[in-house]
């Protein structure tokens, strides 16, 4: 479905490992016109730092006005695209894991290449911690309290810190039957 066929902002589900879905997510973000709007529904444990960096860059470089809604988990590399959203919404039950970047290699590499990779990754880690702090509008020191050694942050805690809005699921009409208050009495079983 193209943006012109959809009423309202394009809705994109950012679910699962970003590494596995990066091509599809990038394509969907490119369907949003430059300067346009979209809503990202996020439930992701993260993935490759490069995937998170790429998705964040697409949002920022194209000036996309994204609303990020954490419906479950938003951890690790998924924090960068969420941080790039101009509006961030969480539920009290949302979970966000901030931690130092991790890397691994399944390739057999020589010592010189491994040393260069470690140097590069150390530099990237420092830069991306700073970028994450900038995206959320906090100081590097404030962000470091969550990143080192690694901390799970609840949606309510993120909202209390002023970094996201909280969606109170109990107040939503969707939890009511036909728009009327939901009957909490149990149905009688006729036997």
pLDDT tens figures, 136-158: 999 999 999 999 888 999 999 99
Structural tokens at position 181:
């208050």
Tokens 């066929």: give the residue.
5
How high is the pLDDT of residue 120? 74
Question: How many CB atoms are closer than 10 A to CB 163?
Answer: 19
How many C-alpha atoms does 24 have within 13 Å on its Cβ side?
10
How high is the pLDDT of residue 188? 47
Residue of 25, 28, 3 whose CA lies nearest to 15: 25
How many C-alpha atoms does 92 have within 13 Å on its Cβ side?
4
Which domains occur in the chain, in start order? 3-175 (3.90.226.10)
Residues of the chain scoring pLDDT < 50? 1-3, 184-191
Structural tokens at position 30:
């490119």
How high is the pLDDT of residue 189? 47
Q: What DSSP designation does 164 have? A: S
Q: For the segment 86-103, what is each residue's pLDDT rounded down to a tens digit?
A: 999 999 999 999 987 666
Instruction: In whole angstroms, give the CA distance from residue 72 to residue 137.
Output: 23
């Amino acid at each position: 479905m193209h943006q012109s066929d959809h009423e309202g902002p394009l809705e994109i589900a950012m679910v699962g490992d970003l590494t596995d879905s990066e091509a599809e997510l990038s394509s969907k973000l490119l369907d949003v016109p430059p300067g346009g709007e979209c809503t990202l529904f996020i439930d992701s444990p993260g993935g490759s730092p490069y995937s998170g960096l790429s998705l964040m860059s697409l949002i920022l470089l194209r000036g996309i006005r994204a609303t990020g809604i954490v419906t479950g988990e938003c951890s690790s590399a998924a924090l960068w695209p969420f941080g790039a959203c101009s509006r961030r919404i969480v539920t009290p039950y949302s979970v966000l894991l901030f931690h130092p970047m991790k890397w691994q290699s399944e390739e057999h590499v020589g010592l010189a290449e491994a040393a260069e990779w470690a140097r590069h990754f150390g530099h990237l880690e420092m830069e991306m911690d700073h970028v994450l702090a900038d995206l959320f509008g906090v100081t590097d020191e404030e962000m470091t309290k969550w990143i080192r050694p690694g901390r799970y942050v609840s949606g309510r805690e993120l909202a209390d810190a002023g970094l996201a809005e909280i969606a109170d699921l109990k107040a939503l009409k969707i939890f009511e039957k036909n728009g009327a208050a939901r009957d909490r009495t149990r149905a009688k079983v006729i036997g």
